[in-house]
Structure 1
């Protein structure tokens, strides 16, 4: 016995109601629509304490309405951002009842304590065109025309309200005055028009939301009931409780949420939005996922069979976090799993990491790291199933070479790669965890962002790598320069992949108003390359550096062919190069370098600078005068 006060066999499992409620948050087709209503119903049936998250935006919304500010209020965002939740929270905070909120009426009115009448629309998409027109005209009057008879509160997706405003304007034969200002506010975070207050839930930080969701679920009070559960008796492992324990950060697992947060940050900086609903689904899936369970999510009643069949390892949260327990089509329907799939974790690896996983069990030279990094985890690491499949694969048994057996081993190998990404120590130089992803320089990107945010200098190695990659894209040559940047062309065709004519060159670090500066775009939180071709305002060209563009330049700097990583990034870089060439031409026209003209040179000549490569790979520009016959 393990000392736990366990329930008798056949007795009701103490956490079954809580786990059943947690399943309602998981990635199932049932909660794709009317999520707020679905969760409320599940909570009423389960009769457990709800999962509560802080709502700083809700507090601001309530404070705004209670301040008596005139006009209207728009709660905007994307699907899953919690618009209905915030709208319902506001309704309750200003005196509305749950019964009235649950009525079938789509447009609700509520007398506010200050005497105003508030008109609530919890979901603009539910309204017919004529209902929508009435509400939007009311919003226009209150926001732009000073009408204080009604205070309009609308919850809507970005695209929904812009489409409804466009259609209303077309029916009225005009451009609706709210549409363009709202579109600009959504895109750039600017101020909404007139007296309209805008609360855009899609702008909430993803990492902070992830950490809060993980804590709210993994630290929930209902888990205390698991201490008396028979499923943990006699040394048995309950995969639900094990996954929850690892999320809490016990036994060296503290890096899990931090590294998952890194992935979420990179996804956000690549332009992907992960709503709170998806983060809730992700966390529920990490704890409850198992490919053999109904809908891929375990219930307490499934655990005894999972233990008996020896399939606990298939419930690994290291696979569940990527939706490995779900059919691929269903997983990719959720933005969060689609975003995490872009990192290729499980498919990507290093030769050293794969060597450790495949040969470490039998190779004496790898015995120490294998014991420390793999065998130390008997639940999801060096499990009997993995070691058995590995032995069959290495011994070359006839069945092990069959396609089905090879596929099984490769699936297990992918599972171990995923686990390593989350469990490798930060300072494990031989096995860098970012090497297990498609973003091998992801850590450098996040470090650069952090340094820029704190106004600290970025790493010299990072700057040098970016400059080398930039020069190789600019010229199409394998040059090693890291101190200067060539702005090169092919003599007129700026989209050419190989350019050996140097139009100008600038320092790799801003000096006396020229050269490259790496700065932080506070609007997007991304790094940005800012290259000044001459001193003075208006002589710079900027290039937003998303994580995928950063990765592209670093890969090119390390020897990858530009088109082999991302044709899209290559096209973006060539467009940036074209802007630099146009800017260089404008500057030259404004400030002709007359002092460089040598006396005696014929008028009918062209001076060109060709980029050549020295023995050690450094490029240099060599001036050549081409005489043209009259």
Structure 2
């Protein structure tokens, strides 16, 4: 029997991480749809209504749809074309420039500015400039372009006197200044879209596509037969875990974004396809299943090699192919499968035999007979526990370690939140404090229900800051010490205190954790006095947060991340300069009598001393002239 979803799965497969994944390029999708005779994957286009209103409004200029490769620029342009009444067949034609006539004006679409070379490209840019700067209202340009490319073209586009295009400054400002507006140029920057929201939209569009209804009548997914494609889809949708898998995957994507990674929609589509179709069996072509592979996989008892939890990290692909994709390179950087804890490995290795762990093993491993307690895993586990020679051989040890890595990956996505104190799943990643960071983010991001920053998070940040800035094992949770070594601010040990401020903003002084609009992240704002004039900000990325928390827990600053250590030392130097400036301004406001008194009294130095319990306190010493 021909599987009823065969054509749909083949169509979806071309979105995956294949060398020839043409479906990831919008200009090829219509051809693939007609060949497969399936309905398209429809992704939300939240900016199209805004673009449509702008183009339809009289006396407006033109529109740029900007972003990086794979952000969906051409897709958005096509949706706008269709909403304006354009013909889909005309859009699919090969012309690089398309014109749509509206009452009283023409709309010129450029699907991709990079395709226009020489005079053709110059003509479009000149027309854009005339539309924006010359108040020409009969022609509207809608241009899809990459950031760097449009800026480079505008820099090179100079008039007879060698002056760059007047569009250069407003386009730059639109890219780099949040909220910038121009009266006759609308810039839609797709790279600013939140990755978590984009991932949710992609997962929903792919997993809930109506073509999956065909699988309901498929013999490969009936009775005791388990189709790995259908199983993966069920887990991605979250029918049994309430969406836990999607939330944890969204957390990883969000942490990556906040660390500076940009994952375009094209990459997220490749990830979604790989989640469903990835498989490590040698007979599966290029590591991505089609319906015709399922029978052989079932007969070979190899369903578990298509686990969605392995597919997140592209374990079904050769290493070089996986690392060539930014999304898989980013997800693999979390180290899930390699990082572990004694508690988790104890559960996975000894859980079936240890009466103290048996209930947890049955709940978190044994209950999953598809990707958890499979026959192969239980057999390898038994060989290990019985000390058989097989597991001491290189091949046997490797097989067992691979299965352990698979189970750690599965547990990261499946362990319930309520057992975190016993099995902290973030400890299975390189970002052990990522959960705390996400809660901190939820406390400061605008629009969320406001709640106070957790005291344990604030205290840990203060302890990490103090240990970096002083080089001492301080445990003070309520005071930030700004110290130097008496002349060299980069010294590892600094006991001369220039300023000590509270961990809460009080009377214009102290530490405040706030939302930083441009970076779209939390920010440490420490004021040493004088209100905003005396404050210094520090962008709190997840990796910097992790660094401070690890230092607070006892890690040596220079051994964890030299880059973060240098960033903190630079922050310390800025705080010292600000403290000196505030003190100088305050001193300048005092009268000459005070200066004379201080000179008579001698020089006062404030040192940080530490008690045995780790509590630091200040001790002032006066140095008098002989």
Provide the residue aligned with 1:4 in structure 2.
none
1:243 aligns with 2:232: yes
Provide the residue aligned with 2:617 in structure 1.
620
Give the Cα–Cα distance (whole angstroms) in 2 for the partners of residues 174 and 399 of structure 1: 75
Provide the residue aligned with 1:351 in structure 2.
342
Provide, for residues 95-144 of structure 1, a one-character-per-residue CA deviation record: whole Å limited to 9, x for no partner.
322333233322222222x2212221110111113222221121111112
SS at match of 2:100: strand
1:516 to 1:358, Cα distance in 2 relative to 1, 3 A: same
CA displacement at 1:251 relative to structure 2: 2.2
- TM-score (structure 1 length as normaliser): 0.94
SS at match of 1:509: coil
**Runs of 5+ consecutive residues of structure 1 not aligned to the other structure:** 1-10
CA displacement at 1:85 relative to structure 2: 0.9
1:473 to 1:405, Cα distance in 2 relative to 1, 3 A: same
Provide the residue aligned with 2:106 in structure 1.
117
Provide, for residues 378-409 of structure 1, a one-character-per-residue CA deviation record: whole Å limited to 9, x for no partner.
10001111122222333333332233332222
Give the Cα–Cα distance (whole angstroms) in 1 for the partners of residues 214 and 363 of structure 2: 33
Give the Cα–Cα distance (whole angstroms) in 1 for the partners of residues 414 and 386 of structure 2: 28
Give the Cα–Cα distance (whole angstroms) in 1 for the partners of residues 23 and 625 of structure 2: 72
- From 166, 185, 188, give the equivalent of 2:155: 166
Contact 1:143 1:193 in 2 (8 A): no
Provide the residue aligned with 2:94 in structure 1.
104
1:578 aligns with 2:576: no
RMSD after superposition: 2.2
Give the Cα–Cα distance (whole angstroms) in 1 for the partners of residues 39 and 23 of structure 2: 23
Structure 2 matches for 1:187-266, cutoff 5 A?
A: 187-252=176-241, 254-266=243-255
Paired residues, what number? 618
Give the Cα–Cα distance (whole angstroms) in 2 for the partners of residues 212 and 105 of structure 1: 31
Provide the residue aligned with 2:276 in structure 1.
287
CA displacement at 1:444 relative to structure 2: 1.1
Give the Cα–Cα distance (whole angstroms) in 1 for the partners of residues 372 and 559 of structure 2: 34
Provide, for residues 509-532 of structure 1, a one-character-per-residue CA deviation record: whole Å limited to 9, x for no partner.
111111111111234331111111
Provide the residue aligned with 1:154 in structure 2.
143
Provide the residue aligned with 2:41 in structure 1.
51
Contact 2:26 2:75 in 1 (8 A): yes
Give the Cα–Cα distance (whole angstroms) in 2 for the partners of residues 156 and 110 of structure 1: 19
Give the Cα–Cα distance (whole angstroms) in 2 for the partners of residues 625 and 351 of structure 1: 52
Structure 2 matches for 1:19-38, cutoff 5 A?
A: 19-31=9-21, 35-38=25-28
1:371 aligns with 2:366: no
Provide, for residues 582-604 of structure 1, a one-character-per-residue CA deviation record: whole Å limited to 9, x for no partner.
00111111112979979987659
- From 465, 472, 479, give the equivalent of 2:474: 479
Give the Cα–Cα distance (whole angstroms) in 2 for the partners of residues 320 and 116 of structure 1: 50
- From 421, 427, 449, give the equivalent of 2:441: 449
1:513 to 1:408, Cα distance in 2 relative to 1, 3 A: same
Give the Cα–Cα distance (whole angstroms) in 2 for the partners of residues 441 and 175 of structure 1: 48
CA displacement at 1:191 relative to structure 2: 2.0
SS at match of 2:490: coil
Provide, for residues 555-574 of structure 1, a one-character-per-residue CA deviation record: whole Å limited to 9, x for no partner.
11111111222211111111
Contact 2:207 2:237 in 1 (8 A): yes
CA displacement at 1:220 relative to structure 2: 1.6
1:549 aligns with 2:541: no
Give the Cα–Cα distance (whole angstroms) in 2 for the partners of residues 235 and 465 of structure 1: 51
Contact 2:274 2:312 in 1 (8 A): yes
Provide, for residues 74-96 of structure 1, a one-character-per-residue CA deviation record: whole Å limited to 9, x for no partner.
00111111111111122222232
Give the Cα–Cα distance (whole angstroms) in 2 for the partners of residues 100 and 586 of structure 1: 65
CA displacement at 1:449 relative to structure 2: 1.5
Give the Cα–Cα distance (whole angstroms) in 1 for the partners of residues 173 and 386 of structure 2: 63
Single out whichever of 210-219 and 26-35 deviates more from structure 2.
26-35
CA displacement at 1:172 relative to structure 2: 6.7
1:531 aligns with 2:526: yes
